[in-house]
Amino acid sequence: MKMDYKIRAEELGFNYGNKEVLKDINFKIKAGSFISIIGPNGSGKSTFLKILSRYLKPQKGIVVLGEENLKELSKKEISRRLSVVPQNILLEFDFRVKDIVLMGRHPYINRLKGETAEDIKIAERAMKYTNTLEFSHRLYNELSGGEKQRVILAQALAQEPGILLLDEPISHLDLQHQVEILDLIKKMTIEEGLTAVAVLHDLNMASAYSDYIIMLKDGKVCYEGEPEKVLNSTNIAYVFNTDVTISKNPVTGKTYLYPISTVPKKIRNVKVHLICGGGSGLELIQELVGNGFGVSTGVLNIGDSDWAISRQYELDIAEETPFLSITQKAYEKNLELAIRAHCIILLPIYFSKANIKNLELLMENSLKDKTIYILDDSNFQRRDFTGGEAQSIYNKIKTQPNVVLLEEDELKIALIKADEKNV
């Protein structure tokens, strides 16, 4: 049976001067899919996206939208079919949010008549869909990074495209906003029938959200297909020159990758307990374990990414059922692990009523002789969803004599010094 593909490319090739950037690219993308373009730096990902948007013209081959050759369409016709969300979402001139979203109607607006009531209605619908209508009268440059990204997505949606091209849409966002933006894009593909093509660096995010993955290396398509087919240790080792171990997320069943350090580790004398969650501990857990430190974690929701990597490394974990408040049993396990450790590290996690006991733990008398390191003290208020209760506890914790506020590079030095003292 013939498949209905939204985008097709045949024998695409592109050079910057004498440098061949893309070589004989062939692919077919089905309508209504979320497609991730992945590959190491310099593999041609952004150039690939620019050709799909006709920002660049290929020196070889063709791109077909539906049944129409891209090069035969006018700029206005292309704008009615596809919308681009660039990597840089900074605006030189400040505008109100509603005006920026309304700019998405440009391909449909008659210059003499201006915006119609229908244009305004479509823009408002796009803002409602992206949860930006509530601040439609605010200036764009007053918004947070996640809010700005949602405004640009609203603008793209107001354009009523069939295809959405996104160049690293989450690269400058924290974890919460990365998930928020990718959730929204995925929702657009399911509910609006959009075809989303995104350049992503985070392979685990690509695994979690993609229907299809195209993996580039040296300007060529090395592998393509469903995430579980493409994201395996052999392919990753060849394309990214990195060894990984593969597991399945216990909640979603999606492929999850963990880098493997090839450097022999020194066994340290210091054991560290991490208060983390939501992916805040991923890199630090890998680094500490890779450098020979004993590590424990908690309280973590079962299925959380920090929980998954803790399981992967066979760490001691205080765990809890997702969506439940921390129980006394989990709290006591967390306290036990903290008492066993030489020091405790609080990472920049989000606090709600469900996990506030992770913060209360740091005020226990039995931990007064433990050094407590706090990373990233700058934006606690933004991470407090308890109506100020967590902020109040946090302020008290910071006054304790055993608490040290520092940056991640300072933490490494502090832990090595602590290890030397315990030799």
pLDDT tens string 292-347: 889 999 899 988 888 888 887 889 999 999 888 999 999 999 999 999 999 999 99
Tell me the per-residue pLDDT of 247-272, one tens digit each, with 9 for 90 and over.
777 667 788 887 766 555 566 778 99
Q: Both 74 and 152 in a single domain? A: yes
Token couple for 343: 């020091």
Q: How many domains does the chain have?
A: 2
Q: Both 231 and 271 in a single domain? A: no
CA angle 247, 250, 255 (to 5 degrees): 35
Any domain includes 250: no
Q: Both 59 and 162 in a single domain? A: yes
Contacts of 381 (CB under 8 A, 6+ apart): 391
Tokens 């040296």 belong to: 218
Maximum alpha-carbon separation in the chain = 79
The answer, yes or no, to whether residue 28 has pLDDT greater than 80, is yes
Q: How far is CA 134 from CA 157, 186, 351, in A?
A: 17, 22, 24
Q: Both 209 and 268 in a single domain? A: no
Q: Both 221 and 291 in a single domain? A: no
Count of helix runs (H) and strand runs (E) in the chain: 15, 18
pLDDT band per the 50, 70, 90 thresholds, residue 2:
very low
Average pLDDT over residues 81-98: 81
Q: Chain-wide mean pLDDT for the chain?
A: 87
Q: Both 225 and 308 in a single domain? A: no
CATH (domain of 49): 3.40.50.300
pLDDT value, residue 92: 67
- Among 242, 270, 298, which residue terminates a domain? 242
Report the percent of the chain where pLDDT is more than 90. 46
Q: Both 130 and 223 in a single domain? A: yes
Q: What is the chain's length?
A: 423
Average pLDDT over residues 340-366: 93
Any domain includes 247: no
Q: Both 204 and 338 in a single domain? A: no
Q: Both 45 and 141 in a single domain? A: yes
Range of the domain at 412: 261-421
The answer, yes or no, to whether residue 120 has pLDDT greater than 90, is yes
Token couple for 185: 């894009």
Any domain includes 253: no
Q: Both 288 and 407 in a single domain? A: yes
Q: Which helix (H) or strand (E) holds 412?
A: helix 408-421
Q: Both 20 and 154 in a single domain? A: yes
- Among 175, 209, 242, which residue terminates a domain? 242
What angle do the packed helices 408-421 and 282-290 form, to 10 degrees?
30
Winning range, highest mean pLDDT, from 47-56, 64-73, 171-180, 205-214: 205-214
pLDDT value, residue 341: 93
Average pLDDT over residues 393-418: 87
Pick 132 or 251 by higher pLDDT: 132
- β-pair partners for 259: 244
Range with the lowest mean pLDDT among 114-128, 262-276, 294-308, 346-360? 262-276
What is the rounded CA–CA span in Å between residue 344 and residue 297? Answer: 10
The torsion angles phi and psi of 233, rounded to 5 degrees, stand at: -60, -35
Pick 2 or 235 by higher pLDDT: 235
Cβ atoms of 100 and 140 within 8 Å: the answer is yes
